[in-house]
Amino acid sequence: MVCKKRLEYGFNGFQAPFIPRAPRSVRRRVFPKKEDHGQVCAIEVLASLAGKLLQESESSASSNASEGNHQPASGRGAVEQESQGEVKPLVAEGVHHGSCAESAFMTEVVSRNSNQKYLGKAETDAVPECTSVTNPADCCKKIDPNIKPEICKWEDQVEHYSNRLAEAPKNFRESYNNSNTKNGFKREQEAGSSGIEGPSLADKCSLKDPLEFQVNSHAISNSASKTKYPCCSKGTFPNSSFSNYVKNSKVGFRDDDENFIRCNKISIKSKAFKPPHRIARRRIRKLVTSKYWKAAPKLKDCELSRSDAGAKPLFQKRKARHSFERGHYDSLFKRRKLSNQCSGLTLDGGFSSESVSNSLEKGTDGNNPGSSSKQHESKDSHVKFSIKSFKIPELYIEVPETATVGSLKRTVMEAVMAILGDGVHVGVVLQGKTVRDDNRTLQQTGLSCEENIDTLGFTLEPSSLQGSPPVCVGDPPSYHEPSHSVRSPRTPVLDSGITDVLHDSPLLTTPSNPIESNHESISSPTDMMTDKVAADSKSLVVVPDRGTEPLAIVPVTQKAKRSELVQRRTRRPFSVSEVEALVQAVEELGTGRWRDVKLLAFENADHRTYVDLKDKWKTLVHTARISPQQRRGEPVPQELLDRVLDAHAFWSQHQGKQQQHGKHQQQPPATPNKLIESSAPQCLSVGEAVGVIQPVGTM
DNA sequence: GTTAGGG
DNA sequence: CCCTAAC
């Protein structure tokens, strides 16, 4: 009996005050091509709001509120939901995650110019754009009509730069290296002169100014990663407001500054573009200090801006990295996988969470914190809902007694993300029945009458639920990335999924964009959620041990293990120049000295470990041996492959490991002719070799 | 911490 | 790329 005693937790739901925004990688799956925007935003709006409320009112009484359990309503932050989402979709989509809901909310509220109280804190955190508009109503007016055209332009722009990026990744690197830190590919130039590179790097460089590039790329990255479009036209914000915006460092939409870059051609140092959302996250970061936090964001940052050239901070702590992205894939996979395996459901069918209770409020705000939702019929016939939180009910997890709290958190997080991973829709339940007709008005539905308040509930429904089996929490086999073929071959730097995002976006059709910058949004949801779970322990209910009951639970030990080991690094195909450098280094140092190879040719490419180089060499050798037709990925010049074979043959037959003997060149069967020409005197001692090469790329 | 090799 | 065994 290896079975350890396990603790089962009935996850009666937890509050999700923050926007459980899934990482892009997931989001793209979550909202693929569908017209989900409206719904998505609805969730975010609601969730965001809930967050606000939660923050303001410490009331925790609602934790386990189940259907019908309504409590006094909070005085602030009611989400106004019009008959049918009007402004919401577009506006919200134009905003960037974290602030999405808020801003959407704000916009809506402001636009209506009513019920200031609803602004509450959100107001200050929300973005200023709309406030810069004299007449709030105008804001929305301007937004809607302009979005389309803006999108188009934006698209063009994105594509434009995307193409430029795609065609000159090395140029960028060079530019970057030349103008910035010492980072870079030491032997880039050397490689370029080897003839393998073809046209000189400089020639191909179409970017005159590195700065410009950075700014632009930044803009691109933002847009690309978001797959969203500007919420306001350039005409919406005067420059002044922009500068203010920057100065004040308010939480806001990144789109805004991007808009300015794009529309007004303002040349600002990239520094000025510290993503507002990052600022926004600050407060979150204060609350959540997870290891995931520290690692992921920075990592991404670097990867994005520095391409594959030396990026110091990269991969320093591989183990510590937690790419939410991957985790999501895992979750997704898990979910799908499990849904087929588990007979017992972990999630209450349909995931319908009566996590949102509600209450109706009359003419005035009750100001009673603690309610999950409130309904209010105001004079202007607006029904107001205040949803304090959504809960995910019926989530069962099981962990060993010896599991750590951290693993518990992760387990819960994974379970939750598995659920949210595919995207959720908001469902409305009235009197126990799901209201499916989206076209009915609240009035028609009976959502405007007090009598029904007690029986009104919002649910989170997996977008892909439709008749799908229940979701289970478990630990599926390791996740495998989709084959590369699925991905755009033009995504050289990161395959973070942006490509897919773009593809999936009904609004942006840019083929690909190697840049991504939405890092911080990647891990935050996780942490927030996990953190929340921990904090709101009330939502965790220990479920009596059910013994043999097949709850489809998987030992957390494995899960934990997986979670902690983080996920795969983003794949980063070697560029030809890198291969060239690798080949040359190996020619000089031989195989078996990967660390030296690394130091020699990839010292500044922190994302390439010596193991990577070794592996690459391995694949290179393999590639060189197979027919060109069987090769995939960026074609490696035959010349290089030849050199690979030569060098490999040479070193493999010369105890390559310690070419120390200095005499190993004594008639190497495959005397690497090229090896000789290539600059690597076979008799060169390590020291010499290094001495010769080291200086080359130093700069 | 490095290497070598299997996965 | 990851993971591990074996230095």
**DSSP per-residue codes, A91-151:** HHHHS-GGGHHHHHHHHHHHHHT--GGGTHHHHHHS-SHHHHSSSHHHHHHHHHHHHHHHH
Give Cβ neighbours of residue A463 (< 8 Å, ≥ 6 apart). Answer: A30, A31, A34, A36, A39, A422, A423, A424, A425
Å: A611 CA to C5 C1'? 15
The gap between A183 CA and C3 C1' (Å) is 30
| CB-strand contact A618/C, under 7 Å | yes
What percent of chain A has a predicted confidence (pLDDT) above 70?
A: 21
pLDDT in tens, A163-180: 433 433 333 333 333 333
- Asked if A638 and A652 sit in the same domain, the reply is yes
Q: Which of residues 268-327 of A touch strand C (CB under 7 A)?
A: 318
Contacts of A198 (CB under 8 A, 6+ apart): none
CB A595 under 7 Å to nucleic chain B: yes
Domain identity same for A155 and A262 = yes
Most confident of A183-197, A227-241, A597-611: A597-611
C-alpha A44/C-alpha A41 separation (Å) is 5
> Is any atom of nucleic acid chain B found less than 7 Å from the CB of residue A14?
no
Whether the CB-CB separation of A457 and A428 falls below 8 Å is answered with yes
Tell me the pLDDT tens digit for each residue of A324-381.
333 333 333 333 333 333 322 233 333 333 333 444 443 333 334 333 343 444 556 7
A652 and A541 in one domain? no
* Distant-in-sequence, close-in-space partners of A493: CB < 8 Å, separation ≥ 6: A169, A303, A304, A307, A308, A514, A515, A572
Considering only CA atoms, which of A5, A67, A141 is closest in space to residue A557?
A: A5
Query: Integer distance in angstroms from CA A614 to C1' B4?
Result: 9
Same domain, A582 and A661: yes
**For strand B, is any atom closer than 7 Å to the CB of A594?**
yes
A469 and A501 co-located in one domain: yes
Residue A608 Cβ under 7 A from any strand B atom? no
User: Is A527 in the same domain as A645?
Assistant: no
Indicate the range of A171-180, A619-628, A638-647 predicted with least confidence. A171-180
In a domain? residue A571: no
Interatomic separation, CA of residue A273 and C1' of nucleotide B2, rounded (Å): 41
Give the per-residue pLDDT at A381: 75
- Beta-strand pair A433-435/A79-80: unpaired
Kindly report which amino acid residue has its CA closest to the C1' atom of nucleotide B1. Answer: A595
CA of A554 to C1' of C2 (A): 23
Is residue A24 domain-resident? yes
Domain identity same for A482 and A590: no
Count of domains observed in chain A: 3
The angle subtended at Cα A495 by Cα A493 and Cα A501, nearest 5°, is 120
Residues A84 and A30 in one domain: yes
Nucleotides of B under 7 A from a protein CB: 1-7
How much of chain A, in percent, has pLDDT values that exceed 90?
1
Q: Are residues A109 and A169 in the same domain?
A: no
In the listed set A504, A529, A564, which residue is the last one of a domain according to the structure?
A564
What pLDDT score was predicted for residue A685? 34
- Cβ contact A612 with chain B strand, < 7 A: no
Can you read off the two tokens belonging to residue A464? 């892909």
Nearest to A6 by CA among A366, A401, A323: A401
CA of A5 to C1' of B3 (A): 40
Task: Give the CA A357 to C1' B6 distance in Å.
Answer: 54
Check whether residue A156 and residue A294 sit in a common domain.
Answer: yes
Asked whether residue A300 carries a pLDDT value surpassing 70, the answer given is no
The residue that minimises its CA distance to C1' of C2 is A568
CATH of the domain at A628: 1.10.246.220
Q: Which nucleotide is nearest to A619 (CA to C1')?
A: C1
Is a pLDDT exceeding 70 seen at residue A603? Answer: yes
Measured from the CB, is A121 under 7 Å from any atom of strand B? Answer: no
Final residue belonging to a domain, choices A533, A564, A595: A564
Residue A570 located in a structural domain? no
Mean pLDDT, chain A, integer = 46
Q: ∠ CA(A451), CA(A454), CA(A459), 5° rounding?
A: 125
Query: How do residues A440-467 score in pLDDT, each as one tens digit?
Result: 777 777 777 666 666 777 777 655 443 3
- For the segment A200-235, what is each residue's pLDDT rounded down to a tens digit? 333 333 333 332 323 233 333 333 333 232 333 333
Domain with A647, as residue range(s), is 576-697
Convert A469-491 to b/e letters by CB count within 10 Å (16 or more is b). bbbbbbbbeebeeeeeeebbeeb
Residue A591 in this model has a pLDDT that exceeds 80: yes
Residue A657 (CA) to nucleotide B4 (C1'), in angstroms, measures 11
The integer distance in angstroms from the CA atom of A57 to the C1' atom of B1 is 52
Q: Tell me, in Å, how far CA of A337 is from C1' of B2? A: 38
The angle that helices A210-226 and A291-306 make with each other, rounded to 10 degrees, is 130
How high is the pLDDT of residue A445?
76
* Domain endpoint, select from A266, A286, A319: A319
Lookup: nucleotide whose C1' is closest to A568 CA: C1
A619 within a domain of the structure (yes/no): yes
The two structure tokens encoding residue A384? 């107001």
> Could you check: is the Cβ of residue A611 within 7 Å of any atom of nucleic acid strand B?
yes
Instruction: Report pLDDT for A205.
Output: 32
Is A610 contained in some domain? yes
Residue located via tokens 């060098």: A647
Residue A686 CA to nucleotide B3 C1', Å? 18
A516-556: pLDDT as tens digits: 333 333 333 333 333 333 333 333 333 333 333 333 344 44
Q: Which of residues 157-216 of A touch strand B (CB under 7 A)?
A: none
| Residue nearest the C1' of C3 (CA based) | A565
| Same domain assignment for residues A83 and A160 | no
Report CA(A334)–C1'(B5) in Å, whole number: 29
CB A668 within 8 A of CB A653: yes
Q: Beta carbon of A569 within 7 Å of strand C?
A: yes
Max mean pLDDT among A44-58, A73-87, A528-542, A582-596 falls in A582-596
Query: A155 or A494: whose pLDDT is higher?
Result: A155
CA angle A373, A375, A381 (to 5 degrees): 150
> For residue A394, what pLDDT is reported?
64
Q: On chain C, which bases lie within 7 A of the protein's CB atoms?
A: 1-4
In angstroms, the CA of A25 and the C1' of B2 are apart by 34
Q: Which residue is nearest to nucleotide B2 (CA to C1')?
A: A595
Q: Does any strand C atom come closer than 7 Å to the Cβ of A546?
A: no
Q: What is the pLDDT of residue A453?
A: 67
Q: What is the pLDDT of residues A369-420, one digit of tens each?
A: 333 343 444 556 777 777 776 666 566 777 777 777 877 877 777 777 766 6
* Range among A86-95, A97-106, A677-686 with highest mean pLDDT value: A677-686
Q: Per the domain annotation, does A29 fall within a domain?
A: yes
Query: Is the residue at A569 inside a domain?
Result: no
In a domain, A1, yes or no: no
- DSSP letter for each residue of A327-346: HHHHHHHHHHHHHHH-SS-S
Q: What is the pLDDT of residue A688?
A: 34
Q: Both A113 and A151 in a single domain?
A: no
Q: What is the pLDDT of residue A451?
A: 67
